[in-house]
Amino acid sequence: MLYIPEIVTEGDSRVYPPSEDSLLLISCLDVTAGEKVLEIGCGSGIVSLHCAMAGAVVTAGDINPRAVELTRRNAELNGIKIDVIETDVYGSVSGRFDTIVFNLPYLPVDDDCELSEAWSGGEGGLGPLPELLRGAEDHGREGWRVVVVVSSLMDREMLDSLLSTYSVKILGELPLFFERLRVLQISSSDQL
């Protein structure tokens, strides 16, 4: 079921607002009651709140302290209890999770401007995806999955090489006029 929480974003232009990629991710993300979910890069909190509204136990994290505060405000606005932490990928994360979600910074540019950490994936566009996958074994429960948004603008060869040792399933796609977004579910290849 699709849960769209009420989200306040005005007043802070330094937090990534819900966009097409956020809504695509929500539409593809099926979680169950009691499932432990970690969202990295929570931004405004829309994905974390969707998961909590579906009954998941959610920890939301972001490197941006303004995003952490905005996610807390949006959780309160919706009457939802989630844990919200400031973290750089897994830096401040404790515990193990069934699902790890990240609407990655996936554009293959290396910009340094306001909000660039939310969309600039550096050369190739992989951004923190390699670190996210490396840490999944340590932060995932048995049968873990990582769910991310990727772009057709990413270096396909680099992405395919990174994902070659994992089981990958496409959960959804969104063609835009300049790129195609995909939501991927990635899990350990021994979970097949």
Report pLDDT digits (tens) over 159-178: 999 999 999 999 999 999 88
- Predicted confidence at residue 26, as pLDDT, reads 95
pLDDT, one tens digit per residue, over 13-22 is 678 788 899 9
Domain 20-191 has CATH 3.40.50.2000: no
Average pLDDT over residues 67-92: 95
87-144 confidence digits (pLDDT tens)? 999 999 999 999 999 998 755 556 555 554 554 445 766 788 999 999 999 999 999 9
What percent of the chain is predicted at pLDDT more than 90?
69
CB of 51 closer than 8 Å to CB of 101:
yes
Q: What is the 3-state secondary structure (H, E, C) of the chain?
A: CCCCCCCCCCCCCCCCCCCHHHHHHHHHCCCCCCCEEEEECCCCCHHHHHHHHCCCEEEEEECCHHHHHHHHHHHHHCCCCCEEEECCCCCCCCCCEEEEEECCCCECCCCCCCCHHHHECCCCCCCCHHHHHHHHHHHEEEEEEEEEEEECCCCHHHHHHHHCCEEEEEEEEEECCCCEEEEEEEEEHHHC
pLDDT of res. 119: 45
pLDDT at residue 192 greater than cutoff 60:
no
What's the mean pLDDT when you consider all of the chain? 88
Is pLDDT larger for residue 91 or for residue 1? 91
Average pLDDT of span 20-46:
95
Q: What is the mean pLDDT of residues 51-70?
A: 95
pTM of the model: 0.90
Q: Where are the domains of the chain?
A: 20-191
Q: Which residues of 34-70 are buried (b: 16+ CB within 10 A; e: fewer)?
A: ebbbbbbbbbbbbbbbbbbbbebbbbbbbbbeebbeb
